[in-house]
Amino acid sequence: MRKKLYTATWILLLVVGIFLISLPFLENSAIQHLINSEMNGKIVQQDKNKNANFDFSKIDSVSASSISKAIFSHKHTMIGKISVPSVSINLPVYYGLDNEELLSGVGTMKPNQELGKGNYAIAGHHMNNEKILFGPLHKVVEGDAIYITNGKKVYKYEVSSITVIDQYDTQYITKKYKRPTLTLITCASGTPNEPNRTMVRAKLSSIKPLNDKTAKYFK
């Protein structure tokens, strides 16, 4: 009896160990599935009356339970797409900073922003796997192109600076610039409770209609 119990315990520990080792891979695969599913969806017009969250202190850390909840959620509303070809970023853009939506894309940091005008600020997660969500953002360099579409036009921005800032330094989100600017924010690393943020700023370069030629940036 003791031998059977001993064997069963070791088998259980082995199964738990394999699961824990596989968990990061499973989480990353689930997030990539969410991204692909959303990118195949339809862009809708931004609802300025939507009760969205813009308090980034309420953004939760990524967990297995939050990923599971996002998979079964059907409330995602994509208002655009963003592409940074140089670092293989291709993600949905959502209105606000909804925790479930941030597991498949990025969110706007201020209400009623307009592409091509003012300081358009976007935030996203930096995962341990730096190939998904906004993880690759720190790899961009000055001059890299960033493309964003609202389903009607494609706005091209060119990276002007990459800076590491404190998580509480929010002036860059509300700051106004002479030239239309795009501000991208993510954690400086995939480490939990990371205190710093990577900030990428880019200046508007051109605006073109969304057509077969310009849609290629988002595939």
Per-residue pLDDT of the chain (219 residues; tens, 9 = 90+): 555 544 544 444 333 333 333 345 567 778 888 888 888 888 988 766 678 888 877 877 776 667 767 667 656 689 999 999 999 999 999 999 988 889 889 999 999 899 999 999 999 998 878 888 999 999 999 999 999 999 999 999 999 999 999 988 889 988 888 899 999 999 988 887 889 999 999 999 999 999 999 999 998
- The closest alpha carbon to 81, from 128, 126, 115, belongs to 115
DSSP string, 60-125: PPP-HHHHHHHHT-----EEEEEEEGGGTEEEEEESS--TTGGGTSEEESSTT--TTSSEEEEE--
Q: Which of 182, 90, 187, 200 is nearest to 142 (CA)?
A: 200
Closest CA to 43 of 154, 159, 204, 181: 154
Q: At what angle do helices 64-71 and 2-39 cross, to 10 degrees?
A: 50
* DSSP strand pairing (78-84 vs 153-166): unpaired
The pLDDT value given to residue 10: 41
Q: Which of 74, 76, 126, 187 is catalytic?
A: 187
* CATH superfamily ID and name for 2-218: Sortase (2.40.260.10)
Residue 56: count other Cβ atoms within 10 Å of its Cβ. 15
Supply the pLDDT for residue 119: 97
Our answer to whether residue 126 is catalytic in this structure is: no
User: Which of these, 34, 81, 21, 96, lies nearest to 62 by C-alpha position?
Assistant: 34
pLDDT of amino acid 9: 45
- Are 125 and 118 spatial neighbours (Cβ–Cβ below 8 Å)? no
| 197/109 Cα distance (integer angstroms) | 14
Give me the catalytic one of 74, 125, 126, 138.
125
